[in-house]
DNA sequence: CATAATCGACAGGTAGCTTGTCCATGGCGC
DNA sequence: GCGCCATGGACAAGCTACCTGTCGATTATG
């Protein structure tokens, strides 16, 4: 993380806008990863957000997690296995379905979620302090508009 | 490309902002790839932008390309090899340095660059038409500001 | 009760990167 | 003009983050 990045992206410069978006996104992303690493969670990688984000205190199956994160069960299973091996989540048999295993965050996993979530308002505040709340709102709206334009 | 995307990204939701940035970026990116595919360049992938973007009519070594794109020589060499096999670039020995080979776009490669470059103003126009020039300008500035905030 | 759907495991493959090693060639100090 | 280090590129190997396909076990459904 926070490795030297390609200076640019997008298939042969599709607007500097795209480049700016990518860079801003990567910068924000790295910030979370760096913070986690500082707190001793250096083995958490970007892809694992797909797990942490959709975890549930009540326990969730890999299949459901995969569906929520829009990746295949296999991909999600691998991420979960990795996190289980490092103590971030546990997998216990579902008492109501003997095929299923429920994925739950451990104490360590909850810590990761807490750190990441604490960073959100902190970042928002820093950004808002510089840009102003209305511009942040406009930014959010415009990004969504652009996505719609490009998707249609 | 334009496959189903993870609904979200960022290590455990670092601001919806980051998610919006990523999605907007991916949407714009896919647009270029789709356009290229329509014109018969379906074998050009996103990673190849790193080559096309830094190609030079006068010929450029893989080492230089790698440095410009901020990836290793090996990674760049692979991309170049792929594009050479499909006729997008040629590699000829550098007359002035018998170690070096110069990578140059072929006619096909120039076509790809042209298509991608033509799309830039087209997209900008569509976006500007909806948002207005001043908001696009603000967007660009704000994205850069955010990157700076996150990088510092 | 038989059949279909679902859960998770296993096998295997791909893209896009990385490090490390090696050789041929080139530039440089002496 | 010789020795030495730097550089360009090739080869090997490995990793992450995905994918498809298959299968046995189990559960839900007609």
Can you give chain B as a three-state secondary structure string? CCCCCCCCCCCCCCHHHHHHHHHHHHHHHHHHHHHHHHCCCCCCCHHHHHHHCCCCCCCECHHHHHHHHCCCHHHHHHHHHHHHHCCCEEEEECCCCCCCEEEEECHHHHHHHHHHHHHHHHHHHHHHHHHCHHHHHHHHHHHHHHHHHHHC
pLDDT digits (tens, 9 = 90+) for A67-88: 999 999 999 999 999 999 999 9
Tell me the whole-structure pTM to 2 decimals.
0.85
Q: pLDDT-derived band of residue A16, with 50, 70 and 90 as boundaries?
A: confident
Mean pLDDT, rounded, for B94-109: 97
- Please identify among residues 58-117 of chain B the ones whose CB lies closer than 8 Å to any CB of chain A: 68-71, 112-113, 116-117
Whether CB of A63 is under 7 Å from strand C: the answer is yes
Smallest Cβ distance to B10: which of A29, A112, A146? A29
Check B149 against A139: CB less than 8 A apart.
no
Domains recognised in chain B with CATH numbers: 16-151 (1.10.10.10)
Average pLDDT, chain B: 89
pLDDT score of A120: 82
pLDDT digits (tens, 9 = 90+) for B6-30: 333 344 444 578 888 988 998 999 9
pLDDT score of B124: 86
Identify which of A107-111, B4-8, B145-149 has the greatest average pLDDT: A107-111
pLDDT score of B138: 92
Judge whether residue B5 has pLDDT over 70. no
């Amino acid at each position: 993380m926070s490795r030297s990045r390609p200076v640019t992206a997008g298939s042969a410069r599709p607007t500097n806008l795209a480049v700016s978006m990518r860079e801003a996104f990567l910068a924000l992303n790295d910030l979370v990863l760096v913070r986690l690493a500082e707190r001793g969670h250096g083995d958490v990688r970007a892809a694992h957000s797909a797990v942490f984000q959709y975890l549930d205190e009540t326990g969730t199956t890999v299949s459901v997690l995969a569906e929520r994160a829009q990746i295949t069960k296999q991909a999600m299973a691998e991420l979960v296995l990795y996190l289980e091996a490092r103590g971030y989540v546990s997998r216990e048999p579902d008492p109501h379905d003997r095929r299923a295993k429920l994925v739950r965050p451990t104490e360590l996993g909850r810590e990761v979620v807490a750190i990441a979530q604490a960073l959100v308002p902190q970042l928002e505040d820093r950004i808002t302090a510089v840009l102003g709340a209305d511009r942040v709102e406009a930014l959010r709206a415009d990004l969504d508009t652009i996505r719609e334009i490009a998707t249609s």
